[in-house]
Amino acid sequence: MTKQIQQRSNLLLGTLDMLILRTLLYGPAHGHHIGKHIQRTTNDFLQMQHGSLYPALHRLERKGWIASKWETAPDRNREFKYYRLTEKGRKQLVAEESQWKRMTEAVARVMWPAAEES
């Protein structure tokens, strides 16, 4: 069990940034929202751990790929810290996405050569 989690989070480690950026493509969201979204979309396969989510958000913000602002949520009467994608982040997302694509294709070609041929 422990091992499985570890494997998952390791997978997540390199791609978390990309997932966050992709999630923000839909529009501004706060930390909790982003985590929930990723978790729901992957059918709970990727358990969002807040221990890595918040450092990742702050890291991205520091790099200038996302920006943050305190805003009142539409459905709740409270302020949340909303993150939104910057122009720089948008470019980064495109770059990371194409790299990811190339990588998965390369991995797939090694892993399932027959499938490729057929």
Residues that bind another protein (CB under 8 A): 30-32, 49-52, 54-55, 57-59, 62, 76, 78-81
In sequence order, the β-bridge partners of residue 14 are none
Nearer to another protein, 80 or 100 (CB): 80
For the bound state, the minimum distance from the C-beta of residue 31 to another protein, rounded and expressed in Å, comes to: 5
Instruction: Tell me the three-class secondary structure of 79-110, residue by residue.
Output: EEEEEEECHHHHHHHHHHHHHHHHHHHHHHHH
For the bound state, the minimum distance from the C-beta of residue 105 to another protein, rounded and expressed in Å, comes to: 32
Alpha-carbon radius of gyration of the chain = 16
Query: What is the rounded distance in angstroms from the CA atom of residue 68 to the CA atom of residue 65?
Result: 10
Nearer to another protein, 77 or 118 (CB): 77
Nearer to another protein, 88 or 101 (CB): 88
For the bound state, the minimum distance from the C-beta of residue 60 to another protein, rounded and expressed in Å, comes to: 9
Nearer to another protein, 47 or 98 (CB): 47
- Continuous segment of H or E residues that includes residue 72: strand 66-72
